[in-house]
């Protein structure tokens, strides 16, 4: 993922994001602007992309984490659902969109996407 985003982006694994006074989730992957040095003294407050890998935590990630990331203005959230073998991509719409249109979810089987074949 680091190669895809390139210079100027830090791909962080299971490290906190400071999304509010009482919220510091630790997503499986967060792509943030800058370098690791930029976050020596404070956690990043936003990300370009967050990825959660879920098996037993699917319901929690869908009902708690996805809305949390949307409220924080995270533009893209991916949920890799292992038990269903799919990737859910939730794109948060811009601020001018109505609350009713807050986000959209697209589910894609991930085995072909990752270049894997069924057993």
Residues 74-113 have pLDDT tens digits of 988 999 989 888 888 877 544 444 444 444 555 555 544 4
- The answer to whether residue 42 sits within a structural domain is yes
- The answer to whether residue 118 sits within a structural domain is no
Domain range for residue 14?
A: 2-113
Residues 12-24 have pLDDT tens digits of 999 999 998 889 9
The CATH number assigned to the domain holding 109 equals: 3.90.1570.10
Q: How far apart are CA 58 and CA 14, in angstroms?
A: 17
Number of domains in the chain: 1
- The answer to whether residue 119 sits within a structural domain is no
- The answer to whether residue 76 sits within a structural domain is yes
Q: Is the pLDDT of residue 36 over 60?
A: yes
User: What rounded mean pLDDT belongs to the chain?
Assistant: 80
End-to-end CA distance of the chain: 26
pTM here is 0.77
- Which is it for the CA torsion 27, 30, 36, 38, positive or negative? negative
């Amino acid at each position: 993922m680091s190669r895809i985003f390139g210079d100027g982006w830090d791909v962080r694994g299971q490290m906190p994001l400071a999304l509010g006074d009482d919220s510091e989730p630790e997503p499986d992957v967060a792509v943030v602007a800058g370098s690791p040095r930029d976050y020596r003294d404070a956690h990043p407050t936003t990300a370009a992309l967050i990825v959660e890998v879920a098996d037993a935590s699917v319901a929690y990630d869908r009902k708690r984490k996805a809305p949390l990331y949307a409220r924080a203005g995270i533009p893209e959230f991916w949920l890799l659902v292992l038990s269903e073998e799919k990737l859910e991509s939730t794109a948060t719409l811009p601020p001018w969109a109505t609350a009713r249109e807050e986000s959209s979810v697209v589910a894609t089987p991930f085995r072909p996407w990752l270049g894997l074949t069924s057993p």
